[in-house]
Chains A and B, each alone.
Chain A
Amino acid sequence: MAEWEWEAATVDQLLDVQIYAADGEPLGKVDDLEFTTPSDGGAPVLTAILCGPSAFGPRLGGLVGLTVWAIGRRLSPTGSDPVRVPMTQVDRVNRREIRLRESARPLGTHRFADWTREHIVCQIPGGSR
């Protein structure tokens, strides 16, 4: 499980925190959080971090949020499900950043960067350096 280097007083302190890959590459921000209520009816537990337009849009709310969500739903291979990083894939959490484990890479956090690199940047002369 993730190592917590600080005590978050409220959950919203975790929102909008910067996420880094294991090698230090910036991946995005915490757009939303997933909580699960245990089957024994206890207090909800933080189970995953959600990223991407389908998590970001609903947080904006209103027509703008709906538009962002709809665009994300059409462009994403997983439909309206946001990129979900289970807490088991999180290495460390502190007030300023969240660092993922090496094994988090296939989860889809790199998808947008990979797409722009392949389809735009590498097509421009000098872009594939």
Chain B
Amino acid sequence: MKRIFAVALGLVTAIGGFVDIGNLVTSGVTGARFSMSLTWAIVVGTIGMTVYAEMAGRVAAVAGRPVFHVVRERLGVRFGLFNLLACCLLNLLTLAAEIGGIGMALELVSDVSYLLWVPLIALALWGALWRLPFKVIENLFGVIGLSLLVFIVALFWLPVDWGSLTSSALHPSVPPTEAYTTYFFYAVSLIGACLVPYQIIFFSSGGVEEGWTRSSMFQMRLNTIVGFPLGGVLSIAIMATSAVVLQPLGTDVGHLSQVGLPVALALGKVGLAFAIVGFFAATFAAGAEATLSTGYAVSQYFGWAWGKWLRPSSAPQFHVICLITMILGTMLVLTTIDPITITLVAVVLGAAAIPLTFLPVLVIANDRDYLGDQVNGRFANVMGVVFLAVTVVVSVVTLPLLFWTRGGA
């Protein structure tokens, strides 16, 4: 019984952990502008996340090697450092976006500008990292984050024309009012929202933290193969509510409140309360994870002691890196850059950076010295190579699209 509970809890946190500010914003924005015609991008991103996380999780469980260990060992000191800097920069952008997201959730409740909440949020986040055990951070907010399921309830409550919704999803086409470049920019943003580097670093390092072994493979596979796709379904549901309510009104999403509007229309105040709690929990957990990921990545690259299971005095450099990350991320939000803009930039650049960390993981996943009999099978390798090709294409087109469309304007 206890084991079933543990497995279920892991699954729930995998669903909750999948959705963060990136998914909330990109699904809301694209639903309002493109209806369901970009559903395929969420599907591509989610499949990619599943393939990548399963491989990274296997390397963590069998060889005990988290991602940035592998990056330096396989890519060497220079390219590894480039990788590390890219990853830290992305984590910083992501953290700033998540802090902005928490702030917007609190602004919805309190009517006090999100900027005033930012210092308090940063203090709370860092306090949680400093004092709370790893399990509590991961499980508590993962479970509360599930209140985002209210979007699925709302979708069934709304007067939905299911026929046109599914045909828009199954026959993607660029709306006549939008340019092709904008369409593909948002496709990249949706892929990037599902495939976030910090989540992979967190997933594999967290596995090592929890002491995964070969016997944890079932739980790990369940989380990646069932949990992440369910998270993808939730992203699609958010997109659908936005497509049903906001698109006919011609509303552009510029704040989390607009993402929650369809739920408020369908289910009233109670529904909106669930949505706001979900926003808060999902972004708070993601903010903590993005910060920890930076500490993990830097410590693993330099070979220092790392991990939440160690007391701060046993992993001093790791905790100092987390602290510096938190300070820089907070400063970035306090520049008053629009959090929605930071989110979009963070997810598209994140999509572009995926091949950097995926390539070494793919190489190690084929190394018998590390994985023994658990090396990639033919299926995993075919999926891995196809996925690598897709992400390389995405990286090549990302920057031109970002500048050409001026960030999707």
By a beta-carbon cutoff of 8 Å, the part of chain A in contact with chain B is: 15-19, 25-29, 31, 56, 59-61, 64, 95-96, 112-113, 116-117, 120-122, 124, 126-129
Taking CB atoms and an 8 Å cut-off, the chain B residues in 310-364 that contact chain A are: 311-313, 316-317, 319-320, 323
CB closest residue in chain A, given B85:
A64
CB of A121 to closest CB in B, whole Å: 4
Give complex CA distance A34, B191 in Å: 46
A-B contacts besides A19-B303, A116-B317, 9 pairs, CB < 8 Å: A28-B302, A28-B303, A56-B77, A96-B370, A113-B305, A113-B317, A116-B316, A121-B319, A126-B131
Give complex CA distance A27, B299 in Å: 10
Contact present for B316 and A16 (CB under 8 Å):
no
Contact of A113 among B77, B304, B311, B370 (CB under 8 A): B304
By a beta-carbon cutoff of 8 Å, the part of chain B in contact with chain A is: 63, 65, 69, 72-73, 76-78, 80-81, 130-131, 302-306, 311-313, 316-317, 319-320, 323, 369-370
Q: A117-B313, A126-B131, A128-B313 are in contact. Are A28 and B304 (CB under 8 A)?
A: yes
Contact of B316 among A61, A96, A121 (CB under 8 A): A121
Contact present for B304 and A129 (CB under 8 Å):
no
Contact of B76 among A16, A19, A95, A113 (CB under 8 A): A16
CB closest residue in chain B, given A125:
B130
Q: What are 30 contact pairs spanning A and B, CB under 8 A?
A: A15-B77, A16-B72, A17-B73, A19-B303, A26-B305, A27-B303, A27-B304, A28-B302, A29-B72, A31-B77, A59-B77, A59-B78, A60-B78, A96-B65, A96-B369, A116-B316, A116-B317, A116-B320, A117-B313, A120-B323, A121-B313, A121-B316, A121-B320, A124-B130, A124-B312, A124-B323, A126-B130, A126-B312, A127-B312, A129-B312
Q: Which residues of B contact A17 (CB under 8 A)?
A: 73
CB of B406 to closest CB in A, whole Å: 32
Q: Which residues of B contact A126 (CB under 8 A)?
A: 130-131, 312
Q: Which residues of B contact A120 (CB under 8 A)?
A: 316, 320, 323
Give complex CA distance A64, B387 in Å: 33
CB closest residue in chain A, given B76:
A16
Give complex CA distance A64, B305 in Å: 25
CB of A129 to closest CB in B, whole Å: 5
CB closest residue in chain B, given A68:
B81
Give complex CA distance A27, B305 in Å: 7
Q: Which residues of B contact A16 (CB under 8 A)?
A: 72-73, 76-77, 80
Q: Which residues of A contact B78 (CB under 8 A)?
A: 59-61
Q: Which residues of B contact A129 (CB under 8 A)?
A: 311-313
Q: Which residues of A contact B305 (CB under 8 A)?
A: 25-26, 113
Contact present for A18 and B69 (CB under 8 Å):
yes
Q: Which residues of B contact A59 (CB under 8 A)?
A: 77-78
Contact present for B313 and A127 (CB under 8 Å):
yes
Give complex CA distance A128, B65 in Å: 29
CB of B303 to closest CB in A, whole Å: 4
Q: Which residues of A contact B130 (CB under 8 A)?
A: 124, 126
Give complex CA distance A27, B306 in Å: 11
CB closest residue in chain A, given B317:
A116
CB closest residue in chain B, given A127:
B312
CB of B68 to closest CB in A, whole Å: 11
Give complex CA distance A128, B302 in Å: 23
The 9 closest A-B pairs by CB, nearest first: A117-B316, A29-B303, A116-B316, A28-B303, A121-B316, A26-B305, A127-B312, A121-B312, A16-B72
CB of B161 to closest CB in A, whole Å: 56
Q: Which residues of A contact B323 (CB under 8 A)?
A: 120, 124
CB of A23 to closest CB in B, whole Å: 11
CB of A122 to closest CB in B, whole Å: 7
Among B76, B131, B317: residue with most chain A CB under 10 A: B317
Give complex CA distance A121, B302 in Å: 19
Give complex CA distance A112, B80 in Å: 21
Contact present for A29 and B313 (CB under 8 Å):
no
CB of A111 to closest CB in B, whole Å: 12
Contact present for B316 and A29 (CB under 8 Å):
no
Give complex CA distance A32, B103 in Å: 46
Give complex CA distance A61, B82 in Å: 13
Contact of B313 among A31, A61, A122 (CB under 8 A): A122
Give complex CA distance A124, B305 in Å: 19
Among B63, B76, B313, B323: residue with most chain A CB under 10 A: B313
Q: A16-B77, A121-B320, A126-B130 are in contact. Are A26 and B304 (CB under 8 A)?
A: yes
Among A25, A26, A27, A129: residue with most chain B CB under 10 A: A26
CB of B287 to closest CB in A, whole Å: 19
Q: Which residues of B contact A27 (CB under 8 A)?
A: 303-304
